[in-house]
Amino acid sequence: MRLAIVASHPVQYQAPLFREVARHLNIVVFYAHRASQADQAKAGFGVHFDWDVDLLSGYKSVFLRNVAKDPGLDRISGCDTPEIAARLANGDFDAVLVLGWHFKAYLQAIFAAKRLRLPVIVRGDSHLDSPRSALKKVAKVFGYPPLLRLFNAGLYVGKRSRAYWTHYRYPADRLFFSPHCIDNEWFSARATVAARNSLRAQLGISVDAKVALFAGKLLPFKRPLDLVSAAAQLRVNGQGIVILVAGAGPLEQEVTAAARMARITLHTLGFCNQTQMPAVYAAADVLVLPSSSRETWGLVANEALACGRPVILSDAVGAAPDLVADKTAGRVFPLGDIAALTAVLHDIVESPPTRAMIAAKSEAYSLGAAAGGIEAALTRVVRRKSDPLQCNPPSPCKRSSGD
């Protein structure tokens, strides 16, 4: 089967998945935008950079011509690629996979596919807890059920993602699990004891120190100061915690000042590119992500688990119900509750999950699982298209019991 995938731009998390899918399917990835170093800085990383890992090998890709007046990734009109219609028409594809509907390029692909009677699959991480006005909530209650029915299949990345689809009454038989994932093997192979000891020695961290890691952009919604407050409380209680920060952003000076005032040992690494991160996870004992619901997933948690490290997530983080709610690979705490964060941080440092428990959780959210969901969805929509007894939206037909 031949699948067209429409993506905004090359992303360090998506490239390994495309490679995995390409091992089983004939795919072409159409990119709407070639991200610049300035685009990365505007996305909140705080610095201009290019990813230091290969994002384009192992699968076929094409960069579409972006005709937007102001090309970029910070607005729906920043990716405008009318060329996708001709590409789909001439590509002999069986279906189209879009990675959302928040760019004009995605909408162009969706409606071009519909004109060509190509099934459309969508994969995204929207969830119901994302901040939105009351007016928008009401509008979505009425507008989203018919909008989502444009998709012949939906790929949900986790429990909150599935709840989003079911809230808008999307048919359950058209939903497939394709979890958020990273290249577990790549991270695991590089998070070695040698890497741990080397980075700790470089930073002057003793081998027996307990280290809590914050990895990500230093933005208000990620709440890095909550970790400093919890470490300060642990210090008052007689338990020393070293904080390691891998990331840059507008809160960097505030985090540093707060740690200094609380007399917390803090090591800031600034922005760390992808090849640096396995050693960072290896040097830590636990990852803490205290973010608000704007953190629709939190793939740094997947990275930490792949490196054998437990994770602590606020209950607002999108991945929390999947990765830590059962307490096998980490802990969850109520958003903004510093006392609760202090308690779970103490517990996880003193009695961490076993490496086997962490590995089992990591494996459940793997490239293979995500690629398998895509293949299952593709098989389903192609079969329905070829079966005259099945309804093929948007043609008028009587709804099945699954609809």
For 60-110, the pLDDT digits (tens) are: 999 999 999 999 988 999 999 999 999 999 999 999 999 999 899 999 999
Inside any domain, residue 33: yes
CA dihedral 376, 378, 381, 387 (to 10 degrees): -90
Inside any domain, residue 166: yes
Residues 74 and 172 in one domain: yes
pLDDT for 48: 64
Q: At what angle do helices 367-386 and 14-22 cross, to 10 degrees?
A: 60
Inside any domain, residue 288: yes
For 26-37, the pLDDT digits (tens) are: 999 999 999 766
Tokens read off for 378:
């593709």
The three-state secondary structure class of 6 is strand
Residues 275 and 371 in one domain: no
Instruction: Give the chain's domain count.
Output: 2
Inside any domain, residue 273: yes
**Ordered alpha helix ranges (H), 41-183:** 84-89, 104-115, 134-148, 159-167
Residues 167 and 211 in one domain: no
Q: How far is CA 265 from the centre of its chain?
A: 30
pLDDT for 393: 44
Inside any domain, residue 394: no
Residue 127: pLDDT band (50, 70, 90) is confident
Q: For residue 352, give the CATH number of its domain.
A: 3.40.50.2000
Residues 263 and 298 in one domain: yes
pLDDT for 39: 61
| Residue-number span of the structural domain to which 232 is assigned | 184-363
Residues 33 and 143 in one domain: yes
In this prediction the pTM is 0.89
Residues 172 and 26 in one domain: yes
Percent of the chain at pLDDT > 90 equals: 80
Inside any domain, residue 392: no
Residues 92 and 48 in one domain: yes
How far apart are alpha carbons 389 and 40 in whole angstroms? 48
For 352-382, the pLDDT digits (tens) are: 999 999 999 999 999 999 999 999 999 999 9
Task: Enumerate residues 6+ apart whose C-beta is below 8 A from 128.
Answer: 160, 163, 164, 167
How far apart are alpha carbons 173 and 380 in whole angstroms? 10
Q: At what angle do helices 252-261 and 224-236 cross, to 10 degrees?
A: 10
Inside any domain, residue 400: no
Average pLDDT, the chain: 91
Q: Which residue has the higher pLDDT, 396 or 244?
A: 244
Residues 203 and 334 in one domain: yes
Residue 401: pLDDT band (50, 70, 90) is very low
Inside any domain, residue 401: no
Residues 287 and 325 in one domain: yes
Say yes or no to pLDDT of 308 above 50.
yes
Task: Enumerate residues 6+ apart whose C-beta is below 8 A from 142.
Answer: none
Residues 92 and 165 in one domain: yes
Residues 105 and 252 in one domain: no
Residues 94 and 194 in one domain: no
Say yes or no to pLDDT of 44 above 60.
no
How far apart are alpha carbons 194 and 204 in whole angstroms? 15
